[in-house]
Structure 1
Amino acid sequence: MRKLALSDDILMKIEKPARYIGGEVNAVVKDLQNVDIRFAMCFPDVYEIGMSHLGIQILYDMFNRRDDVWCERVYSPWVDLDKVMREEKIPLFALESQDPVRDFDFLGITIQYEMCYTNILQVLDLACIPLHAKDRTEEDPIVIGGGPCAYNPEPIAEFFDMFYIGEGETVYDELLDTYKENKKNGGSRMDFLEKACQIDGIYVPMFYDVTYHEDGTIDQFFPVNKHAPSVIHKQVVMDVTNTTYPQAPIVPYIKVTQDRVVLEVQRGCIRGCRFCQAGMLYRPTRERDVETLKQYAYNMLKNTGHEEISLSSLSTSDYSELKELVTFLIDNFKNKGINISLPSLRIDAFSLDVMSQVQDIRKSSLTFAPEAGSQRMRNVINKGLTEEDIISGAGQAFEGGWNKVKLYFMLGLPTETEEDMEAIAVLADKVARRYYEIPKDQRNGKCQITASSSFFIPKPFTPFQWAPMLNHEDYIERAAIVKHAFLNQLNKKSLRYNWHDAEVSVLEGVFARGDRKIASVIEEAYRMGCIYDSWSEQFDNDKWMRAFDNTGIEIGFYNLRERGEDEVFPWDFIDIGVTKKFLRREWDRAMKGEVTPNCRMQCSGCGVAKWKGGVCIESKN
């Protein structure tokens, strides 16, 4: 019988002990005597969040298909267990074997969002691994980071031995083979890092240095090891149909955020929203074969017993075989008690017809993401959505029986005026007004329109990477303007408005575009007790502000200034395929309020812009 790392006494005292015991259905257990490499795959957040992440499921499945590798999982312990582990000196352990993470060859950390950065330090600290890569010895695992935040790794660079830039299905096998060979030949940790940095897509931060101008901007970023390349190229899987995919994903004992079978129908997005990092990072759009997806649906439902299946992509409506796939899912699974979830759909006649078949209309709400209230502002961000589209889609939904709509907006976008802010309330009122145009006997009770606004955060590799943010007070003031505008609307009793935490947004802005200096702030905040910063009940802004004061780092330098056209960014050494010249051109078009057609309408020459059948028809800039 497997011995648990935590005693019964501890398990009985903490919240949701099933987070830590492993042994779930489809979890992989191997004989250590037959394994050459042990890989601990970490999501630096609580179990329920990490277990819902498709990327980790894909890598877990891919690594464990190799006989010589055993990949296990580790998540951030919640604050109750964190306290116990420190007091009892219990080292962080992997779920499958319950062995200490420090005994592994690799600790791979998926970095999905900036506000988990202190949790990364929590994981390293609890695992008894030195926080700084330069302090690690031959006895420590290789700490490797990946995921969307790895596209600007600099704020956390000194905590990692290496980063994997891009999609994991490409060169991970080569990396693991290189490690195995180096180990067999008696090579050192440094020998392996020097070999690894020569693999396309692998970035080893200690092999690079940076110099600064007097004003704090970057002068030069350059390799200091002869083996390290000057540019790191993003890794992309072109044939997503024939790559690995987990058809027997792990089934948790407790309810997690995404407690369902997930079918990834495509990668990438054709839309080109200027604020959206994912839309640029994951170009080009690549679709999975519909017949393969049908088989995956059968296999995954059979292997898990899940009662829900969801389609996953940045823009599911753009999947060319959507109608065939959805019809198949409805015909084959709906009558078997399987719920079908269809996120990321544009609200048009087809989508509404499908959703009416798979949802309980009386209980569900529909979601629109106009992002901005005025058409002028939507043109600036290249949303590709008109007011007519929004009102028409809402009208069709209301006539189909829905009476609840959620509208998502952003405040603080470049060039935003007070009129643009107030237009959020005006648009919400127009949506409500469209409901009350329906004859009373055909309505489904009163309508409820809930508008939510987040605060704009410029991200690397977007046309808005040059843009300034606002400070905390300005964001709150803008939210107050919108709130007041809602009170003046005709249908105000049918309208609700709420907004995101401005303090968290300010921090996220610093981390998103930060350089290596930001590591000192993150470490200082962690030393002061900051973890789980994306959780409102755990976030402590006062501690963060003291951390900035203690380290002498100015938030305004990173957030409040517009970048110069020729400024060197901390992430410029990474090549994602989309050129900086194209992004700057899109920034200029945004300032003029000009719309750029989506990729299927017209190639805009982004560098990887239009792909057909896996062949790049590239427009040179």
Structure 2
Amino acid sequence: MNWEDILLAVEKPSRYTGGEVNAVKKDRRACELSVALAFPDTYEVGMSHLGLQILYAILNQHPRILAERCYAPWPDMERQMRRHGLALASLESHTPLHRFDIVGFSLQYELSYTNVLNMLDLGGVPLRAADRNDGHPLVIAGGPCAFHPAPMARFIDAFVIGEGEEAISDIALAVLDDKLSGRGRVETLQRLAGIAGVYCPAVHTAEEPIKKRVIPDINAWPFPLRPIVPLMQTIHNRATLEIARGCTRGCRFCQAGMVWRPVRERHPAGIERMAEEMLCSTGHHELSLLSLSAGDYSRIEPLLAALMDRYQGRRVALALPSLRVETLTRSLMEEIKRVRKTSFTLAPEAGTQRLRDAINKGNSEADLLATIEQVFAAGWKSVKLYFMLGLPGETQADMEGLADLAHQVLREAKRRGQVTISLSTFVPKPHTPFQWARQIGLAETREKQDYFKRRLRGPNLHVKWHDARMSLLEGIFSRGDETLGLLIERAFQSGCRFDGWSEHFRFDLWEQAMTDLAIRPEAELRERPLTDRFPWDRIDCGLSRDFLIREWHKSTQGELTADCRMEQCHLCGVCDHLRVKMISAADSPLPADGFSSTGAGNRFQKSAPEKRLRIEFTKLGPSRFLSHLELSAALIRA
């Protein structure tokens, strides 16, 4: 029994076939080090993640290193694999995980932890780091959850803290050198522990600080200009170009805005060149300009205008996936709609000005209503708004204010479009000013949700809820210690998988595991004294404890902290103003006449006489598992 024999028995076989455009398939015999980049969620989620594509491109640039991909199998595929004794393997060469030198996981979400264990188990790798020997791969993990490594520490050999472009090469070359020199696992881990930004739980002492890795200038590092093009529909089926990294708006609940500082913008001329090559190498007809807050990019309006001038004739749409309310201007809307009205998602987060000030959101109700009016006036038919429940200091008046604001937004729509309200539960995150805050429990969350179910009703109003039980579990892992590794292991052994997917979430199994291990959720969700020591205190993301405490106190007083790009430095601790500092594109002008209108990228603009072609083809090999729609989309991109 082989892989292809079982693909007809699973729901979406194209998740497992590989063979995508721009995938790199090297000769394993010619490479001296093999790395499996593992994403603990489905193929369609993982293929939408830019970070994995970046690391894949960097590693495969090394002639001696091979990097391949692996994603979490859906439960139907897992059943087939276990039934027929097939190990979880990479897409490119179908090599089992246990035959790689390194297995590297991207930890994006706490509710993917059981998937990590499942992938290790299916791949023939012992779950616990202590049970692995020289014949097993090194298991390495990075991503936002690595900033709080304690819950997964018993399973991971080494964590990469911070940005991985530089660290991944340092790690791979060190492991390669040790492999060729015949050094064992213990010696290799000791060597990795000496690399900046790498935390090895079995090597580092309890108090030894680990400082995050920072790329000083993203313009100086390669970007995947020939990204892998999936053959199936993914979450974000488009070309994605990172225009800036980091955010200093200072929202006090936002971990990404704290740990990925400082802001570093990509130069517009570089964006032009990269966009052209990516679109030509992928066939995509949508380009997403990625940033934590794309509207804050200092040259966003002239950049967008120049890109639309270049690509309107090719019918390439532009998307800005992350926008603050006050940065979505009429001019941006007019540029975006020149090809296609891509979606807008706005995040007011709170329903009253008092609470928005407490979280340092920095915009007003008037900003939101004016933007909504402009969105619908410009011809959009829908808008999505994100709010959070249970923010620190939230009162009944704040809840009433949120409901009132939602209805004001609906009135602005004036029957012209759909308004979607998404309500999630606030979860305190490490390395934020709200890391000391209390998280509301299950009963209180449901009580608040019931209130909004009564209040948020009306035509053209759609309300989405985040499962209160998932938020509870996320909160437990967000601030828990190493003992939670036992909980993850127990839940996995009980059958927990895909805990972030409602159709597979088994809260009853998690409850039983917590009962067995005497873990009390209410104790994990409580407010913490400022004197408490946290399991992540050893991880230095650059922010000083004094800065976080100041921001916590300012939150209780409703005081705002301005963006340091617009005012003075707030001494958060991230910048040394020599190597690590803000990089702005404000002084990087576009070419005098906008972007060049010559070159291969415009070869599609010339009109040509219409011709009708009849194409006859046969699907052979793995391509026979592609659906009709998947194949049609691939032909259109080609």
Structure 1 residues 574 and 411, CA, compared in 2 at 3 Å: closer, same or farther?
Answer: same
Query: Does the CA contact (< 8 Å) of 1:364 and 1:404 recur in 2?
Result: no
In the TM superposition, what whole-angstrom CA distance separates every residue of 1:132-160 from its partner, at most 9, and x where no partner exists? 00000111000000000000010010001
- Residue 207 of structure 1: how far off its partner (Å): 2.5
- Residue 346 of structure 1: how far off its partner (Å): 3.4
- What runs of 5+ residues in structure 1 fail to find an aligned partner? 210-220, 223-229, 437-444
Among candidates 528, 532, 553, match of residue 567 of structure 1: 532
| 1:255 counterpart = 2:225 | no
- Measure the CA separation in 2 of the matches of 1:540 and 1:349: 40
| 1:578 counterpart = 2:543 | yes
- Measure the CA separation in 2 of the matches of 1:298 and 1:327: 15
- Measure the CA separation in 2 of the matches of 1:448 and 1:425: 16
Give the match for residue 534 of structure 1. 500
| 1:19 counterpart = 2:6 | no
- Measure the CA separation in 1 of the matches of 2:423 and 2:91: 38
- Residue 23 of structure 1: how far off its partner (Å): 1.5
Give the match for residue 124 of structure 2. 128
Query: Does the CA contact (< 8 Å) of 1:286 and 1:614 recur in 2?
Result: no
* Structure 2 letter corresponding to 1:245: F
Give the match for residue 544 of structure 1. 510
Give the match for residue 185 of structure 2. 189
Give the match for residue 390 of structure 2. 412
| 1:318 counterpart = 2:296 | yes
In the TM superposition, what whole-angstrom CA distance separates every residue of 1:27-51 from its partner, at most 9, and x where no partner exists? 1111223211100000011111111
2:405 aligns to what SS in structure 1? helix
Structure 1 residues 522 and 180, CA, compared in 2 at 3 Å: closer, same or farther?
Answer: same
In the TM superposition, what whole-angstrom CA distance separates every residue of 1:474-515 from its partner, at most 9, and x where no partner exists? 00101222333335xxxx435343321100000000111111
* Structure 2 letter corresponding to 1:235: R
- Residue 611 of structure 1: how far off its partner (Å): 6.0
Query: Does the CA contact (< 8 Å) of 2:255 and 2:429 recur in 1?
Result: yes
After superposition, the CA RMSD in angstroms is 2.0
- Measure the CA separation in 2 of the matches of 1:186 and 1:498: 55
Give the match for residue 592 of structure 1. 557
| 1:480 counterpart = 2:436 | no
Among candidates 210, 227, 234, match of residue 232 of structure 1: 210
- Range with greater deviation from structure 2 (37-46 or 472-481): 472-481
Q: Spell out the pairing of 1:171-190 with structure 2 (5 A cutoff).
A: 171-190=167-186
* Structure 1 letter corresponding to 2:547: F
- Measure the CA separation in 2 of the matches of 1:176 and 1:435: 53
- Measure the CA separation in 2 of the matches of 1:87 and 1:398: 53
- Residue 123 of structure 1: how far off its partner (Å): 0.6
The TM-score normalised by the length of structure 2 is 0.88
- Residue 251 of structure 1: how far off its partner (Å): 1.1
* Structure 2 letter corresponding to 1:557: A
* Structure 2 letter corresponding to 1:573: R
Give the match for residue 570 of structure 2. 604
Give the match for residue 493 of structure 1. 459
Give the match for residue 441 of structure 1. none
- What runs of 5+ residues in structure 2 fail to find an aligned partner? 584-638
| 1:303 counterpart = 2:268 | no
Give the match for residue 557 of structure 1. 523
In the TM superposition, what whole-angstrom CA distance separates every residue of 1:65-118 from its partner, at most 9, and x where no partner exists? 001100000011111110111111111111111111111100000001111000
- Residue 363 of structure 1: how far off its partner (Å): 7.2
| 1:42 counterpart = 2:38 | yes
Choose between structure 1 and 2 for higher RCO, CA contacts under 8 A separated by at least 6 residues: 2
| 1:429 counterpart = 2:425 | no
2:469 aligns to what SS in structure 1? helix
Query: Does the CA contact (< 8 Å) of 1:486 and 1:497 recur in 2?
Result: yes
Q: Spell out the pairing of 1:447-486 with structure 2 (5 A cutoff).
A: 447-486=417-456
2:165 aligns to what SS in structure 1? coil
1:284 aligns to what SS in structure 2? coil
Query: Does the CA contact (< 8 Å) of 1:599 and 1:610 recur in 2?
Result: no
Q: Spell out the pairing of 1:50-129 with structure 2 (5 A cutoff).
A: 50-129=46-125
| 1:148 counterpart = 2:118 | no
Query: Does the CA contact (< 8 Å) of 1:608 and 1:616 recur in 2?
Result: no
Query: Does the CA contact (< 8 Å) of 2:214 and 2:580 recur in 1?
Result: no
2:222 aligns to what SS in structure 1? coil
- Residue 562 of structure 1: how far off its partner (Å): 1.1
Q: Spell out the pairing of 1:287-302 with structure 2 (5 A cutoff).
A: 287-302=265-280
1:569 aligns to what SS in structure 2? coil
Among candidates 523, 537, 545, match of residue 489 of structure 2: 523
* Structure 1 letter corresponding to 2:536: W
Structure 1 residues 166 and 42, CA, compared in 2 at 3 Å: closer, same or farther?
Answer: same
% identical aligned pairs = 44
| 1:369 counterpart = 2:334 | no
Query: Does the CA contact (< 8 Å) of 2:24 and 2:92 recur in 1?
Result: yes
2:218 aligns to what SS in structure 1? coil
- Residue 460 of structure 1: how far off its partner (Å): 0.3
Structure 1 residues 407 and 32, CA, compared in 2 at 3 Å: closer, same or farther?
Answer: closer
1:511 aligns to what SS in structure 2? helix
| 1:274 counterpart = 2:252 | yes
1:410 aligns to what SS in structure 2? strand
Give the match for residue 384 of structure 1. 362
In the TM superposition, what whole-angstrom CA distance separates every residue of 1:387-421 from its partner, at most 9, and x where no partner exists? 11111112222332335332210000111101101
1:408 aligns to what SS in structure 2? strand
Among candidates 495, 511, 514, match of residue 477 of structure 2: 511
Residues paired across the two proteins, number: 582
- Range with greater deviation from structure 2 (136-145 or 492-501): 492-501
Query: Does the CA contact (< 8 Å) of 1:599 and 1:609 recur in 2?
Result: no
1:369 aligns to what SS in structure 2? strand
* Structure 2 letter corresponding to 1:207: V
| 1:265 counterpart = 2:243 | yes
- Measure the CA separation in 2 of the matches of 1:73 and 1:197: 25
- Residue 446 of structure 1: how far off its partner (Å): 4.0
1:71 aligns to what SS in structure 2? strand
* Structure 2 letter corresponding to 1:186: G
- Residue 351 of structure 1: how far off its partner (Å): 3.4
- Measure the CA separation in 2 of the matches of 1:577 and 1:207: 22
Query: Does the CA contact (< 8 Å) of 1:422 and 1:481 recur in 2?
Result: no
2:313 aligns to what SS in structure 1? helix
Query: Does the CA contact (< 8 Å) of 2:439 and 2:475 recur in 1?
Result: yes
- Measure the CA separation in 1 of the matches of 2:393 and 2:347: 19
Structure 1 residues 303 and 160, CA, compared in 2 at 3 Å: closer, same or farther?
Answer: same
- Residue 609 of structure 1: how far off its partner (Å): 5.6
- Residue 449 of structure 1: how far off its partner (Å): 2.6
- Residue 331 of structure 1: how far off its partner (Å): 0.9
In the TM superposition, what whole-angstrom CA distance separates every residue of 1:549-590 from its partner, at most 9, and x where no partner exists? 11112212211x211111110100011111111011101110
* Structure 2 letter corresponding to 1:606: C
- Measure the CA separation in 2 of the matches of 1:532 and 1:241: 36
- Range with greater deviation from structure 2 (262-271 or 11-20): 11-20
Structure 1 residues 165 and 349, CA, compared in 2 at 3 Å: closer, same or farther?
Answer: closer
- Residue 447 of structure 1: how far off its partner (Å): 4.0
- Range with greater deviation from structure 2 (331-340 or 462-471): 331-340
- Measure the CA separation in 2 of the matches of 1:286 and 1:56: 20
The TM-score normalised by the length of structure 1 is 0.90
* Structure 2 letter corresponding to 1:467: A
In the TM superposition, what whole-angstrom CA distance separates every residue of 1:289-347 from its partner, at most 9, and x where no partner exists? 11111001110111111111111010001111212221122111122121211221334
